């Protein structure tokens, strides 16, 4: 598969790249960013996946995430895929809402028309893109970690819970932990997967844990001034599921922080150091 280089720039001794390729999973061109630290010049390095939230592309964390200095220090590659397929022919929310359709793929493979034609983000981030990265870039696929924000935190948790042998560590920033119980998730999972709520459980972190999925431990940061906290994010549901399952959860409620990239950037280096310790 051909990868087009959109841009490459030197940063903290490494290389920040943005790339595009034609995706078999989504049937559209897909863009992702990848930072390779200076250590990658001497051999494969561990890889941290970052899944972005609603309305975002790869560019949000690439421009605002402030991860490169820590990645260069720790010798970590950092990849950020897009959040949905793109293109004039890709179906969108019929009412033009921002929380469904373009920029809101929710990391599922849609089964409902017309979205099932392109919205196959689960296959893209768990199968197609990892295979492409492994072939093209100097990363060590035996040492992977995953994190994400909001909708991307939901994606990171569900991907890790369903691939427990793939990731050495998992974290999230303000994740949607139980989409089957909040408005964002009910709209997205219903629109992409249909009305059978049993089918939603494979894309709901709290439900996956209730159904037997396990991880060694989790790190979650959540701002207590986040305006989505009570209605959409509900970290207490993840706490209850982890407590019942015996999964060690470090849930840090950060006073005064909201849902923005100022919050993410503040704690990004903490997360990367936490991942680096587990990727050694």
226 catalytic residue (yes or no): yes
- d(C-alpha 26, C-alpha 153), whole Å: 21
- The span from the CA of 248 to the CA of 196, in Å, is 31
CA angle 127, 171, 265 (to 5 degrees): 110
User: Given its phi and psi angles, is residue 252 left (phi above 0), alpha (psi -120 to 50 degrees) or beta?
Assistant: beta
Catalytic residue among 149, 259, 271, 275: 259
SS3 content of the chain, % helix, strand, coil (to 5): 40, 25, 35
Active-site residue identified among 150, 169, 204, 271: 150
Q: Is the dihedral of CA 152, 153, 157, 163 positive or negative?
A: positive
Span between the terminal Cα atoms of the chain, in Å: 31
260 is catalytic: no
Find the catalytic residue in 52, 226, 271, 275: 226
Q: Hey, is 198 helix, strand or coil?
A: helix
Name the nearest CA neighbour of 171 among 148, 193, 152.
Answer: 148
Is residue 116 annotated as a catalytic residue, yes or no?
A: no
Q: Which residues are catalytic?
A: 150, 226, 259
């Amino acid at each position: 598969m051909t990868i087009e280089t959109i841009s490459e720039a030197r940063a903290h001794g490494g290389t920040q790249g943005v790339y595009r390729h034609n995706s078999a999973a989504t049937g559209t061109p897909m863009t992702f960013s990848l930072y390779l630290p200076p250590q990658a010049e001497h051999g494969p390095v561990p890889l941290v996946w970052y899944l972005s939230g609603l309305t975002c592309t790869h560019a949000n964390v690439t421009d605002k995430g402030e991860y490169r200095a820590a990645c260069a220090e720790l010798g970590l590659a950092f990849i950020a895929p897009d959040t949905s397929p793109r293109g004039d022919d890709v179906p969108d929310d019929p009412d033009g809402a921002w929380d469904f359709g373009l920029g809101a793929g929710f990391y599922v493979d849609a089964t409902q028309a017309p979205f099932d034609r392109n919205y196959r983000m689960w296959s893209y981030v768990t199968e197609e893109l990892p295979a492409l990265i492994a072939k093209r870039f100097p990363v060590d696929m035996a040492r992977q970690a995953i994190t994400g924000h909001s909708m991307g935190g939901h994606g990171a948790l569900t991907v890790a819970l369903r691939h427990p042998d793939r990731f050495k560590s998992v974290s999230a920033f303000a994740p949607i932990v139980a989409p089957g119980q909040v408005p964002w998730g009910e709209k997205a999972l219903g629109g992409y997967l249909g009305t059978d709520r049993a089918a939603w459980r494979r894309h709901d972190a709290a439900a996956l844990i209730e159904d037997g999925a396990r991880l060694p431990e989790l790190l979650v940061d959540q701002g207590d001034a986040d305006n989505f906290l009570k209605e959409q994010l509900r970290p207490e549901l993840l706490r209850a599921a982890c407590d019942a399952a015996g999964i060690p959860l470090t849930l840090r409620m950060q006073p005064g922080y909201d849902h923005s990239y100022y919050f993410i950037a503040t704690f990004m280096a903490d997360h990367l150091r936490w991942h680096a310790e587990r990727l050694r």
